[in-house]
Amino acid sequence: MRKKPQTFTRNKEYARVLQRETIERCLRHKLGRLAYFGLPSSSLNDVKAWQDIVESFVAVERGEEGKEWELQHDLQLEAFRAQLFTRIILMRGDIDSVILKGKDISNNILHYPFDVISLDYSGGLFYKDRKGTFLRLRAISAAIAAQGKKHADFVLLISCNLSAIDQGEVKNTIENIRTDLTRYGASADQVINSYQKHQRNEVRLKLYVPYLVNQAAAKNHYYCETQQVVFYSGNQDVSMMMFRFCLKFDARTESLRSPKERLSQIINKPMIQIENGLPMETNLQLPKLALLEESRKANA
């Protein structure tokens, strides 16, 4: 084993509890037989915490540059030590590339579908390739599309830090949200202005990421339910966010439906802040969107 095993905070431990709650709620009928695809790290903490509800794990690990084999080797050793070796398949390389190419660096093929996809990134979401394509965001949409081809209901978990946020991309998307809301008659200006002006990036990502996932979901015949968005301090006090989505396949009509989950629902759900390993609901002083029925009643 390496001298330093990968370790995580109490906050992260609680985030895993919340993720488990989502899995249990969304995939109740299949617990014990679930298939996982994601980033468990060489400590396998999520694998161990969920081993009674998840049957098989496809674990991707890229390792550290120049010594990639170390973490990959540690992951397999830990799987062996925890008697989970026969339930874990290791894929090597970057998970975005595995999703986009459908195989890992050793040409092992990625076989969909999965019940739980956990994109538990150590970095930010706005990673771009040389051509300026948002590779990570593309990979998220590609994973949803691949699951959709198999008509699979699943839980999508995304964790990221707040580094290198593309402010233009986020703010422009929030302007699109303003337009969508206004189109349906909601008076969104005060609320959207508060999100755009807020000093914390967490509030804008609270809208951006669910909007992105909802759009990709709708394109692939999914109904997407966004769970309360979570934020916390991770290792070295890095600001982290965690998103949970329950995606249900619905192909009743060939023509696509617009996202069924209302933007107002996403906006008005308070966030969960985890501090010292404990959760607390917070709106971060943001106003709520008045629902049309409510404002009609108030003006009557």
Ligand X SMILES: C[S@@+](CC[C@H](N)C(=O)[O-])C[C@H]1O[C@@H](n2cnc3c(N)ncnc32)[C@H](O)[C@@H]1O
Q: Which residues pair with 225 in a beta bridge?
A: 246
Which of 30, 45, 68, 87 contacts ligand X by CB under 6 A?
Answer: 45
Number of residues in contact with ligand X under rule CB under 6 A: 20
Question: Binding ligand X by CB under 6 A: which of 74, 78, 94, 115?
Answer: 94
CB of 136 to ligand X, least distance (A): 8
| Contact flag: residue 121 with ligand X (CB under 6 A) | yes
Q: Binding mask 225-264 vs ligand X (x if CB under 6 A, - otherwise)? A: ----------------------------------------
Is residue 71 within the footprint of ligand X (CB under 6 A)?
Answer: yes
Determine the interface stretch with ligand X among 37-45, 186-194, 197-205, 267-275 (rule: CB under 6 A): 37-45
Between residues 42 and 214, which has the closer beta carbon with respect to ligand X?
42
Q: Which of residues 18 and 177 has its CB atom nearest to ligand X in the complex?
A: 18
Number of H helices, E strands in the chain: 10, 10
CA dist 259 and 17 (Å) reads 28
155 touches ligand X (CB under 6 A): no
Backbone φ and ψ of 167, nearest 5°: -60, -35
Residues 6+ apart with CB under 8 A from 163: 123, 124, 238
Interface stretch with ligand X, choices 38-46, 203-211, 216-224, 257-265 (CB under 6 A): 38-46
Would you count residue 115 as binding ligand X (CB under 6 A)? no
Distance of alpha carbon 36 from alpha carbon 30, whole angstroms = 13
Query: With left for phi above 0 and alpha for psi between -120 and 50, is residue 74 left, alpha or beta?
Result: alpha
The conformation of residue 277, written as its DSSP 8-state character, comes to T
For residue 209, what are its two tokens?
């990421």
Residues 108, 76, 63, CA angle at the centre, nearest 5°? 70
Contact with ligand X (CB under 6 A) among 36, 57, 58, 61: 61
Rounded to 5°, angle at Cα 224 from 252 and 203 = 155
Q: Which of 6, 201, 268, 295 binds ligand X (CB under 6 A)?
A: 6
Q: In angstroms, what is the minimal distance from the CB of 65 to ligand X? A: 10
